[in-house]
């Protein structure tokens, strides 16, 4: 893995860290630098390959803060991207219908042939999955732990305006978002707590 020397927004110095450690701590400073190093257009390209269909350009350009979640993406897009990781790096077009039973028999006439495309090497998907499993074991996603393997990541925007948990088991990918569709309204006192992705 790559290592970065991290200086936070308040100019405190946390030393050298890895992407794995920064994921478990939910430290966005490394992801901000990583997005700049890789390039926002490449980050957008990978998001698209993974399953994000939301337009990621703002005023004709990919914003450098995109790697921190500055562009609003739908829960379906997030679940789709994580499902690609769960499938070992193979993208499957999302579908809302699993099967149709007509008069007691399966009716496959509705089924479209979905495109399955390898977009990430399985080894890369495996490493990302392991890190996201560790995040549920002892990182920011411990509230999502189950009695079977779970991988996932929390997310919280400034002032608690949006809260996310996106994750997967081997057979199911899901995205949970809490916020207000009308705008970024702080959720700092919902049933007595400030809402975050981990809550």
Q: How far apart are CA 81 and CA 68, in angstroms?
A: 16
Comparing 35-49, 103-117, 123-137, 138-152, which segment has the lowest mean pLDDT?
Answer: 103-117
Instruction: Work out the pLDDT band at 149, boundaries 50, 70, 90.
Output: very high
Return the pLDDT at 88: 96
Check residues 167 and 16 and name the one with the higher pLDDT: 167
Give the Cα-Cα-Cα angle 151, 16, 168 (nearest 5 degrees). 5
The whole-number pLDDT of residue 11 equals 47
Least confident of 53-67, 99-113, 166-180: 99-113
- pLDDT tens-place string over residues 89-114: 999 988 777 677 888 888 776 666 66
pLDDT at site 115: 77
Q: Which long-range contacts (CB under 8 A, 24 or more apart) does 69-76 make?
A: 69/155, 69/157, 73/47, 75/166, 75/175, 75/176, 75/177, 76/175
Q: What percent of the chain has pLDDT over 70?
A: 87
Q: How confident is the model at residue 42 (pLDDT cuts 50, 70, 90)?
A: very high
pLDDT of the residue at 7: 46
Do 29 and 9 contact (CB within 8 A), yes or no? yes
* pLDDT value at residue 119: 96
């Amino acid at each position: 893995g790559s290592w970065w020397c991290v200086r936070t927004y308040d100019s405190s110095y946390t030393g050298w860290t890895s992407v794995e450690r920064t994921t478990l701590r939910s430290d966005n400073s490394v992801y901000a630098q990583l997005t700049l190093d890789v390039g926002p257009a490449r980050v957008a390209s990978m998001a698209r390959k993974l399953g994000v269909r939301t337009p990621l350009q703002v005023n004709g350009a990919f914003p450098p803060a995109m790697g921190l979640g500055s562009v609003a993406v739908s829960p379906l897009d997030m679940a789709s991207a994580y499902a690609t990781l769960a499938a070992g790096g193979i993208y499957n077009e999302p579908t809302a219908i699993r099967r149709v039973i007509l008069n007691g028999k399966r009716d496959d006439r509705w089924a479209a042939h979905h495109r399955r495309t390898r977009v990430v090497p399985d080894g890369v998907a495996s490493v990302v999955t392991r890190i996201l499993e560790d995040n549920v074991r002892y990182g920011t996603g411990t509230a999502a732990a189950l009695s079977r393997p779970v991988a996932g990541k929390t997310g919280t925007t400034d002032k608690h305006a949006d809260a996310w948990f996106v994750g997967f088991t081997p057979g199911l990918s899901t995205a949970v978002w809490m916020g207000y569709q009308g705008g970024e309204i702080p959720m700092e006192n919902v049933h007595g707590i400030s809402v975050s992705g981990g809550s």
